């Protein structure tokens, strides 16, 4: 049985609160470890450590800070396989998918290697008579990240890589369900040359989160998780004047136009709807075929594909997806399927009865597919976060465009079409933060920014890309005028006593 503590002051330390949470291995359903849950006092100890270390790190020139990040990228690549297996065994996703989780985080660490350039300020010569103006970006001090279970490598790296490169010290409060990889990443940062105290991992639950919210020395919080918690953190952080960005849940639609390449679209829906057991904030959970013929053609191809999904253990290289994260997650998804049936949707494929031979205690669920879902149903309005795809039939393009635009969530959306004009109109008009055109999961690359709209994102700056540098720094603007200097009335001959 593994025992996971916290990472404070450059090393793993044991928890002292006496409270722990079980860390499962979803593929077997067994408890594989206990993670410490921090008390307010333990969080405070981490903040004091970070606060003491931060000024020297901020004063380290940006090229040197970038070199630590470069070394970190190299070390994560060295340990890729080991980290991916650890991740898969705690989260449940398959090993190739776990590698994607690490890769998309690492790309943000690579972006942060450009910090000497990214942090450059502005300069205007002669803004007024004899007046110059310049701005500089300075780190905030101690900042915190609170992250979800579903990307235990990617999202912590999205947070700490830019924050630390900017010269801040970082407190990471990862999900208590899969804390192993965040702890390993912190160790690698130390091996890469990061001074002790700059990256701390405080494991915990609500008590640790509330301690972060109340701590006067934490200047900013980056949160990713479900919408109710995102909104709670955003409101509490605002009360104490902390800078805050909070990303929440999602209900991502894929619009399928009559001219779409149906084979490509079905491939995309299968991967984006059921990959990682649907536990992705950018998973497609609603498919919207436009017109009856499109819908019938789609269902004809989709049903056999959902029925033949290969569900396996997290370490089975041939599995399409593995188990869900916990037994509660399985029960929650099943209850949504029951709700959908009661609401009158047609369950075209029922994954509830799936059993994994030899792993009967694991948290598995087959793929489910609903047809004839309507927008008043709870299974349409709420995030299910499992391997369930809902098909909502639209009569025309305008009805299809209105569905994601009017939905409470606004994380990602995709359109499948061969027509450039339709795609262009859709990208311009849809009321959603990230748009894919024949791309099902439009997660922007590291040097662009990631963020949803409406109930999927609270705050005005996105994650990674240039916004992350703005979020983790404050701008100081200097207006300067120098009095006439020695050049006026300067003496050109050797001064002599008069």
**Position among 147, 245, 449, 462 found at the interface with ligand NAD (CB under 6 A):** 147
Among the listed residues 113, 166, 244, 281, the single catalytic one is: 281
The verdict on 383 binding ligand NAD (CB under 6 A) reads yes
Question: DSSP letters along 261-330, please?
Answer: -HHHHHHHHHHHHHGGGG--TT-EEEEEEBSHHHHHHHHHHHHHHHHT--B--TT-TT-SB---S-HHHH
Choose between 290 and 441: whose C-beta lies nearer to ligand NAD.
Answer: 441
CA distance linking residue 342 with residue 292, whole number of Å: 24
DSSP 497: -
The verdict on 224 binding ligand NAD (CB under 6 A) reads yes
The verdict on 149 binding ligand NAD (CB under 6 A) reads yes
Q: In what order do the strands lie in the sheet with 388-391?
A: 346-349, 368-371, 388-391, 284-289, 252-256, 412-416, 434-437
**Position among 2, 11, 206, 352 found at the interface with ligand NAD (CB under 6 A):** 206
Question: Measuring CA to CA, which residue among 94, 90, 28 is closest to residue 314?
Answer: 94
Residues facing residue 218 across a β-bridge: 142
The verdict on 256 binding ligand NAD (CB under 6 A) reads no
Q: How many residues belong to the site for ligand NAD (CB under 6 A)?
A: 26
Listed ranges 14-22, 73-81, 246-254, 469-477: which one lies at the site for ligand NAD (CB under 6 A): 246-254
Min dist CB 386 to ligand NAD, Å, is 11
The verdict on 37 binding ligand NAD (CB under 6 A) reads no
Choose between 173 and 305: whose C-beta lies nearer to ligand NAD.
Answer: 173
281 is known as an active-site residue: yes
CA distance linking residue 304 with residue 178, whole number of Å: 33
User: Angle of helix 62-78 relative to helix 95-112, nearest 10 degrees?
Assistant: 170
Residues numbered 395-414 forming contacts with ligand NAD, rule: CB under 6 A: 411
Min dist CB 159 to ligand NAD, Å, is 11
Q: CB under 8 Å, gap of 24 or more: what pairs does 64-70 form?
A: 65/115, 65/164, 65/165, 65/167, 66/112, 66/113, 66/114, 66/115, 66/116, 66/165, 67/193, 68/189, 68/192, 68/193, 68/194, 69/109, 69/112, 69/113, 69/115, 69/161, 69/164, 69/165, 69/192, 70/113
- Coil, strand or helix: which one is 380? helix
CB-nearest residue to ligand NAD: 225
> What would the x/- binding string for ligand NAD be over residues 454 to 493, using CB under 6 A?
--x-------------------------------------
Listed ranges 114-122, 123-131, 145-153, 369-377: which one lies at the site for ligand NAD (CB under 6 A): 145-153
CA distance linking residue 490 with residue 284, whole number of Å: 74
**Position among 101, 176, 178, 467 found at the interface with ligand NAD (CB under 6 A):** 176
Choose between 57 and 170: whose C-beta lies nearer to ligand NAD.
Answer: 170
Min dist CB 466 to ligand NAD, Å, is 17
Spell 438-470 as b/e; 16+ CB within 10 A means b: eebbbbbebeebbbbebbbbbbebbbbbebbbb
Min dist CB 120 to ligand NAD, Å, is 28
According to DSSP, the β-strands at 122-128 and 131-139 are: antiparallel
Choose between 102 and 250: whose C-beta lies nearer to ligand NAD.
Answer: 250
Min dist CB 412 to ligand NAD, Å, is 9
Listed ranges 30-38, 80-88, 147-155, 195-203: which one lies at the site for ligand NAD (CB under 6 A): 147-155
**Position among 167, 179, 225, 386 found at the interface with ligand NAD (CB under 6 A):** 225
Listed ranges 29-37, 219-227, 387-395, 414-422: which one lies at the site for ligand NAD (CB under 6 A): 219-227
- Active site positions, annotated: 281
In the complex, the residues that contact ligand NAD under the rule CB under 6 A are 146-151, 173, 175-176, 205-206, 209, 224-226, 229, 247-250, 281, 383, 385, 411, 452, 456
């Amino acid at each position: 049985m593994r025992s996971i503590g916290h990472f404070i002051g450059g090393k793993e330390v044991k928890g002292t609160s006496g409270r722990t949470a079980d860390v499962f291995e979803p593929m077997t359903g067994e408890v594989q470890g206990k993670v410490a849950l921090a008390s307010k006092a333990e969080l405070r100890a981490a903040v004091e450590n970070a606060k003491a270390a931060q000024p020297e790190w901020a004063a380290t020139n940006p090229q040197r800070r970038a070199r630590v990040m470069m070394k970190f990228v190299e070390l994560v690549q060295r340990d890729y396989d080991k980290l991916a297996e650890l991740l898969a065994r705690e989260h449940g996703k398959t090993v190739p998918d776990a590698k994607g989780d690490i890769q998309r985080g690492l790309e943000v660490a690579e972006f942060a290697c450009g910090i000497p350039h990214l942090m450059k300020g502005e300069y205007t010569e002669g803004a007024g008579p004899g007046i110059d103006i310049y701005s500089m970006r300075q780190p905030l001090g101690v900042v915190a990240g609170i992250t979800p279970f579903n990307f235990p490598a990617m999202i912590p790296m999205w947070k700490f890589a830019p924050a630390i490169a900017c010269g801040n010290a970082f407190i990471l409060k990862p999900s208590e369900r899969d804390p192993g990889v965040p702890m390993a990443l912190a160790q690698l940062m130390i091996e890469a040359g990061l001074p002790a105290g700059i990256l701390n991992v405080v494991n915990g639950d609500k008590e640790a989160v509330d301690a972060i919210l109340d701590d006067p020395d934490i200047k900013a919080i980056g949160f990713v998780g479900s919408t109710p918690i995102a909104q709670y953190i955003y409101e509490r952080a605002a009360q104490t004047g902390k800078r805050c960005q909070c990303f929440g849940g999602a209900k991502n639609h894929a619009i399928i136009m009559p001219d779409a390449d149906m084979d490509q679209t079905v491939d995309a829906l299968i991967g984006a709807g059921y990959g990682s057991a649907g536990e992705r904030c950018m998973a497609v959970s609603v498919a919207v075929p436009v017109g009856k013929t499109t819908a019938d053609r789609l269902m004809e191809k989709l049903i056999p594909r959902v029925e033949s999904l290969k569900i396996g253990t997290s370490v089975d290289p041939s599995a399409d997806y593995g188990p869900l994260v916990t037994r509660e997650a399985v029960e929650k998804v099943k209850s949504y399927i029951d709700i959908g049936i009661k609401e009158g949707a047609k369950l075209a494929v029922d994954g509830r009865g799936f059993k994994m031979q030899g792993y009967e205690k694991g948290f598995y669920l087959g793929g489910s597919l609903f047809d004839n879902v309507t927008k008043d149903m709870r299974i349409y309005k709420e995030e299910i976060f499992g391997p369930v795809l809902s098909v909502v039939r639209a009569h025309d393009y305008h009805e299809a465009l209105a569905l994601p635009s009017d939905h409470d969530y606004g994380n990602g959306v995709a359109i499948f079409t061969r027509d450039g004009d339709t795609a262009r109109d859709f990208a311009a008009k849809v009321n959603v933060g990230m748009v894919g055109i024949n791309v099902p999961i439009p997660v922007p690359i590291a040097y662009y920014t990631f963020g949803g709209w409406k109930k999927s994102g609270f705050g005005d700056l996105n994650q990674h890309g240039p916004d992350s540098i703005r979020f983790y720094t404050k701008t100081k603007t200097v207006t300067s005028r120098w009095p006439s200097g020695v050049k006026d009335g300067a003496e050109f001959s050797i001064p002599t006593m008069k």
